Structure 1
Amino acid sequence: MGGHHHHHDYAGEGLVNAAREALTVAGEQWTGMRADVFAALVAQPRPASAYDIAEHVGQARGKRVAPNSVYRILDLFVRTNLARRVESANAYVANPHPGCRHDCIFLICDACGQATHLDDDRLTGLLREAARDAGFADVRPVVEIRGRCGACGPVPD
């Protein structure tokens, strides 16, 4: 793989396989519980909290699942780039290209809660540079822009 790459946004089974591979490459095991949490995350139409995911997994498994264990798995997914955390919403979304490391910019709709994810390396590169100039190390830009999506339109008067 050279410097430039094309994104392949996975979906469905392909996304699950890419996630399993990325987790395994990171030296972690793809357990049944982790698979269920990832499937629940992918099934959510918008960023979901650990509680939403725990509930979803609990229904799928037919028994209550502790949000704490889901939190730990979601943190692992964020560390291994399988998921992203939407800080301002305290919620998580599946990363459509698990093998790729990108700083991401979320556009979050205040009306419907939908999060759209943008990759703009030029923009996040400038943020990294500014942070490094300020003496920061291990910089990971997390950018969230709130507003109203095209479907919800401007706030009516």
Structure 2
Amino acid sequence: MGAHHHHDHHEASGSELTKVAQATLEKSGEQWTTMRASIFDALAKFDKPASAYDIADAVSKAEGRRVAANSVYRILDLFVGANLARRVESSNAYIANAHPDCLHDCIFLVCDSCGQTTHIDDDKIANNVRHAAEAAGFSPVRPVIEVRGKCSECEHAA
């Protein structure tokens, strides 16, 4: 299977994405707590990958109380494990998964100029990476591919 497209819940409606994320988390046996909902909502509002500190600040401002980054990290780890969020490894930042009800390896296009990060699905590329790892005697668990460069907006602005 090559590249394909999904219904993007994030673009359709923030509340639709939240509903799908909640259902996905609950299906995995976890609870959708008020704090988890607040962190997911804050994460989903960022238009670029956000650090745990960015998210903690956003939730703290929204709730009028301090939320510690270490609490956010724990919830983000849960979200990554449940496919609700993706971690951009090179920047230690997170993005909400626009289709949490579908599992794919991560392929990120990261703009070095503006920081915009685009997640694409291409099972052919991901499978080739998995097969190459296995051929080298390695058992891939969660491949993450990051392509650094310039987005089309930054490329045209130069």
Aligned to 1:23: 25
Deviation at 1:139, TM superposition (A): 2.8
Aligned to 1:136: 138
Gaps of 5+ in 1: none
Contact 1:148–1:154 (CA<8 Å) still a contact in 2? no
2:34 pairs, out of 32, 35, 44, with 32
Deviation at 1:45, TM superposition (A): 1.1
Aligned to 2:102: 100
Distance 1:64 1:43 in 2: 19
Distance 2:82 2:88 in 1: 16
User: What TM-score results when the alignment is normalised by the length of structure 2?
Assistant: 0.92
Q: Does 1:58 align with 2:57?
A: no
Distance 2:65 2:90 in 1: 30
Give the aligned length.
Answer: 152
Gap change, CA 1:112 and 1:39, over 3 Å in 2: same
1:7-22 equivalent positions in 2, closer than 5 A: 7-11=6-10, 12-22=14-24
Distance 2:141 2:114 in 1: 30
| 1:6-44 Cα shifts (integer Å, max 9, x gaps) | 622102111000000000000000000000000000000
| RCO higher in structure (CA 8 A, sep ≥6) | 2
Q: What amino acid is the match of 2:150?
A: R
Contact 2:56–2:68 (CA<8 Å) still a contact in 1? yes
2:86 pairs, out of 84, 87, 103, with 84
Deviation at 1:135, TM superposition (A): 1.9
Q: CA RMSD in A?
A: 1.5
Gap change, CA 1:145 and 1:6, over 3 Å in 2: closer
Distance 1:67 1:6 in 2: 33
Distance 1:113 1:132 in 2: 32
| 1:55-113 Cα shifts (integer Å, max 9, x gaps) | 00001110010000000000000000000000001100000000110012100001100
Distance 1:155 1:41 in 2: 28
Q: What amino acid is the match of 2:137?
A: G
